[in-house]
A = this chain, B = another copy of it.
């Protein structure tokens, strides 16, 4: 237990520096039973509990809100990989295991835990689950929710839910696992999980494409999936305006194509299949040749305008470096508001077209990237003239975006969650029947409202 100011400071502030809140103490239990004792004690005293694992979220979900006497319950000491079952392809882990540590541990067994995003060196499994984290290979493996077979959690009454099964089928009652996943600690504290593992890819192929339009991109995704057998691991949208911003701030990065790609796609396929890794006629591997041939046909049909195929690990790294420099470049380029939205795949093009038009009209400069294969866009509203940012009608632009999302049946929070930052938005925009259902569940499972209060539901 930590109570003195310097020791608790890293816990009471989130990593963006935007959210902070005082805590009576930071407690660091070592087992689910200890978590249960802490929750029981807090329930008796009416003290709020803010669970925290890697504290890498960007919605302020893992730090206290000052209106309540709170403790931070850090899961960082619960950091054991409890078991790896190589044959069943599952791992049983504590909630405080760092994502990358799990990935390293299973690699020794020729397996992967596929969840992939920037903060994986400090994000922990408990937080991944509580926020249903996404990332760049959801198109193949799904969100964190899809990677989890069972959980252990401590509920608001101090009871322990022992759901650490590795079952692929289980119809014994309500789906409590998925209710707790993505609940951001407001219904209970996830203390452990059984997760799915996958075979390590034996071969990869990566390319950067200039494609005819966003609608063409969806067609290309389907064609590549069918031709190469659902091997697409990344289908990332990086259009020319974003490439320009990156090149401005990272002059050492080269443009992937000689001509600007209005609709640029970073495409990666990977396979654990033996024959995909076999040597093909051109000396490369079969999957790589398969992708080259698919791209040749797509260029002939006019869907792909230009393509750069990474012929070395160095070239592949350059492409990913481009993708991973996006956020830093946009941040360096001036003020911007970031939307994290999702659309049905066939409405993505409509959303971008209508948004771009409106944003430009109002003096914004849209900088959009996204996990296009999931219909997930990170749409940043920068200023056409950064000096005039303060005068731009940001609220009106946001309302326009949220209205448009509602019309297109999209989501105003695709993968980053709600936390503090979008709690008001949820209250305003979530369908009333669903909001009422959420409130009823919250009230039933945490009547004292001690589990991460002020997050998600306000």
Contacts and interface: CB of A to CB of B under 8 A. Distances in A.
Interface in A423-458: 426, 429-438, 440-441, 443-445, 456
Given A218-B88, A226-B274, A346-B85, A411 B169 contact: yes
B87 A433 contact: no
Interface stretch (A300-308, A325-333, A356-364, A412-420): A412-420
A228 interface: yes
Interface in A196-227: 199, 215, 218-219, 222, 225-227
A166 B138 CA distance: 15
> What is the oligomeric copy number?
2
B170 A414 contact: yes
Contact of A171 (B229, B416, B433): B416
B182 A174 contact: yes
Nearest to A158: B433
Given A171-B415, A174-B179, A413-B172, A344 B166 contact: yes
Given A174-B438, A433-B161, A169 B85 contact: no
Contact of A168 (B131, B342, B426, B441): B342
A276 interface: yes
A88 B173 contact: no
A271 interface: yes
Contacts of A435: 173
A386 interface: no
A171 B414 contact: yes
A452 to B, nearest CB: 13
Contacts of A170: 342, 411, 413-414
- For A134, A169, A435, the residue with the greatest tally of chain B CB atoms inside 10 Å of its CB is A169
B438 A441 contact: no
A354 interface: no
A138 B274 contact: no
Contact of A346 (B87, B218, B231, B373): B87
The 4 closest A-B pairs by CB, nearest first: A444-B444, A229-B273, A178-B178, A88-B345
8 contacts: A134-B169, A145-B175, A165-B409, A168-B374, A174-B187, A226-B272, A228-B273, A230-B230
